[in-house]
């Protein structure tokens, strides 16, 4: 399982009045990075939703080290560390352009059936891609 990374610019809407990224917006960056990772390995979240399959955050442990600021380009990583049939755990981090780790998190994600809201298996093809070294 290989670490995936993507880049995002900090926009005014992401910040408070002082130009500092609001703490909850890091969760959005992490979500976007996970979505980009799924897309990069061939997953199609729209098709999953059409099959009543979705991923939800089950638990999150986050450590804020330093603030990102307006106009900064951030690198957001997603590294799967455990992948099971109905869940996965990813280590994620946000780095600034000096490669300083600003925020890090461990995110536990479950796969659910959107009709029943109960756990369900990750589709086998997607599971295989998640486990491979891309």
Q: What angle do CA 68, 69, 74 make, to 5 degrees?
A: 55
How many Å apart are CA 108 and CA 74, to the nearest integer? Answer: 23
Q: What contacts 58, CB < 8 A, 6 or more positions away? A: 87, 108, 109, 110
Domain that holds residue 59: 4-131
Q: What are the tens digits of pLDDT across the range 17-67? A: 999 999 999 999 999 999 999 999 999 999 999 999 999 999 999 999 999
134 pLDDT band, cuts 50/70/90, is: low
Task: Tell me the pLDDT tens digit for each residue of 61-79.
Answer: 999 999 999 999 999 999 9
Task: Say which CATH number the domain at 82 has.
Answer: 3.10.129.10
Task: Determine the average pLDDT of the residues in 112-127.
Answer: 96
Instruction: Name the average pLDDT for the chain.
Output: 95
Gap between the Cα atoms of 92 and 82, Å rounded: 13
Which residues form the catalytic set? Answer: 16
**pLDDT recorded at residue 132:** 87
Q: Domain count of the chain?
A: 1
């Amino acid at each position: 399982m290989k670490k995936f990374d993507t880049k995002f610019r900090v926009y005014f809407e992401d910040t408070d009045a002082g130009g500092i990224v609001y703490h909850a917006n890091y969760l959005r960056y992490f979500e976007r990075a996970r979505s980009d990772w799924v897309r990069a390995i061939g997953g199609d979240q729209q098709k999953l939703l059409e099959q009543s399959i979705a991923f939800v955050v089950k638990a999150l442990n986050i450590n804020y080290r330093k603030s990102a600021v307006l106009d900064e380009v951030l690198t957001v990583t997603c590294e799967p560390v455990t992948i099971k049939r109905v869940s996965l755990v990813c280590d994620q981090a946000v780095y600034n352009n000096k490669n300083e780790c600003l925020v890090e998190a461990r995110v536990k994600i479950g796969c659910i059936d959107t009709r029943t809201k109960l756990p369900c298996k990750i589709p086998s093809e997607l599971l295989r891609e998640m486990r491979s070294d891309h």
